[in-house]
């Protein structure tokens, strides 16, 4: 799972940087929340999870790690697409942000449980 987390984090990094470049070039910054969340929850959080799993392979081999990976990668696009619509003025996009955010929190809680349970000296 470590390699999967690291590789997908780089994809989110490219997406986040491209959104930032678009905003800079157009001088329109409405998508700042999307840019920030993709970089934080996509790039940084997933890269760190991958590096943690490199250091603690027993945790990486669990079902919890797999479920965390998939929840993270299903929820983040849902939440970010919803947020992009929301900041663009589509008021009924709120449920997508809420659903994606709820799944994201669940995935992060599972990651925390996995680390607390399976990372040992």
Predicted confidence (pLDDT) per residue in 29-86, tens digit: 999 999 999 999 999 999 999 999 999 999 999 999 999 999 999 999 999 999 999 9
Which residues make Cβ contacts (< 8 Å) with residue 51, sequence separation at least 6?
2, 6
Q: Does the pLDDT at position 121 exceed 90?
A: no
Closest C-alpha to 57, from 13, 104, 120: 120
Q: In the numeric block, which tokens belong to residue 34?
A: 């999307």
Coil, helix or strand at residue 79: helix
């Amino acid at each position: 799972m470590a390699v999967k987390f690291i590789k997908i984090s780089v994809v989110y990094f490219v997406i986040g940087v491209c959104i930032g470049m678009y905003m800079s070039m157009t001088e329109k910054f409405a998508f700042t929340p999307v840019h920030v969340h993709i970089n934080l929850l996509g790039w940084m959080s997933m890269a760190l999870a991958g590096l943690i799993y490199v250091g603690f392979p027993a945790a990486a081999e669990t079902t919890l790690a797999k479920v965390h990976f998939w929840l993270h990668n299903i929820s983040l696009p849902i939440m970010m697409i919803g947020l992009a619509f929301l900041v663009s003025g589509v008021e009924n996009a709120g449920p997508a942000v809420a659903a994606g955010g709820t799944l994201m929190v669940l995935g992060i809680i599972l990651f925390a449980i996995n680390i607390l349970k399976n990372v040992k000296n």
